[in-house]
Amino acid sequence: MSIIRHDKLVRDRIPDVIAKGGNTCSTRTLTDAEYIAALDAKMAEELAEYHADGSAEELADLLEVMMAAAAARGHNFAEVESIRQRKAAQRGGFAQRIWLESVTTPD
């Protein structure tokens, strides 16, 4: 028997997947503060995975964590989307691929 430590936030059905594979796992429910910290760590993990392969699958994982993070902080995703739309209307999106090289200010 071997025990592999993971110590990370996982999707809700992962313990069932592990059990169906014939293994057992140890889990616990995080406190609110632990959950938010774990979501932040998970977001960094998913972003690194997206950077590594750029797939739609990794973008979907990142979006899932973002939605959970919004809910954990008392926001719903519709609110976040509304803010995104407002900012896009005021400041634009990223479709034009504009790279800001410098800004010159008068002396």
Sign of CA dihedral 36, 42, 44, 47: negative
Percent of the residues in the chain that have a pLDDT greater than 70, as a whole number: 100
Distance CA 26, CA 10 (A): 12
Segment 18-23 mean pLDDT: 96
Report pLDDT for 1.
85
Segment 31-52 mean pLDDT: 97
pTM, 2 dp: 0.85
